[in-house]
Amino acid sequence: MSALPLLRAPDDHRPNGRPLVVVDVDEVVLAFVGPFSRFLEERGFRLHPRSYALGGNVTRAGGVEAVAGEVVQRLIADFFVAAVDDQPPVEGAIAALERLGAVADPVLLTNVPEAQAERRAAHLGALGLTAPMIANAGAKGPALARLTARARAVGGDDLPAVFIDDGPTQLASARGAVADLRLVQFVADPIWFALAPEIPGVWLRTRTWVEVEAAIAPLAGARRVGGAIAGAGTAS
């Protein structure tokens, strides 16, 4: 049994009064672009990095015309069935989140299909994570609002809250749902990071967990999280 708790809803989280750090999983904690690209190629499709989206960028092998959106959604669903417990971790993610867990309150908020939520939680636990996970559907703003409200009820109205995600739509949803939320735009894959549009109001834009950890640690009143951190990060 995994040591990683799988929560049914944001209200099941028990905040500890430390800064809240809500973290997406795909392309933030676990690699997605590379495994999904290989999955597509094995099934006669290709992922073309032409814009920051999956829809419109999947073609049949040897073709240039994008397949229909419903085909892409089916392929994504099939990918999670086949590989949700086989995605490798993003470099530095597991160790950084575990160190931050000593001074902050990390929560994983992922839009994994509900049918694969337990497998994802088990996989993350096997990799060494202990932070709780919530399987979300759709926009993450409502879940973030509940998590932040509960955290600030314990830690005070000025408790720092951070949201880390790769998706522009989810970052915008979060920005509209929670006041004073520090947004971190994180895309591990270098090609897709370059394609990602810059989001207004983002606190930190990065593809390395070294930068994330260095930025978050001072919020908890600590410049050392399990070891030396080079500087306090570029975020302000």
Radius of gyration of the chain measured on its C-alpha atoms = 18
Q: What percent of the chain has pLDDT over 90?
A: 86
Closest CA to 76 of 47, 52, 50, 108: 47
Residues in contact with 25: Cβ distance below 8 Å, sequence separation at least 6, in sequence order: 108, 110, 112, 120, 124, 133
Give the Cα separation of 22 and 197 in Å (integer).
Answer: 21
Give the Cα separation of 100 and 214 in Å (integer).
Answer: 10
Give the Cα separation of 201 and 73 in Å (integer).
Answer: 30
Q: Which residues of 128-157 are buried (b: 16+ CB within 10 A; e: fewer)?
A: ebebbbbbbeebbbebbbbbbebbbeebee
Span 176-224, pLDDT tens digits: 999 899 999 999 999 999 999 999 899 999 999 999 999 999 998 732 3
Span 109-153, pLDDT tens digits: 999 999 999 999 999 999 999 999 999 999 999 999 999 999 999
How far does the chain reach from its first CA to its final CA, in angstroms?
40
Query: Does the structure show a pLDDT above 70 at 166?
Result: yes
Q: What percent of the chain has pLDDT over 70?
A: 92
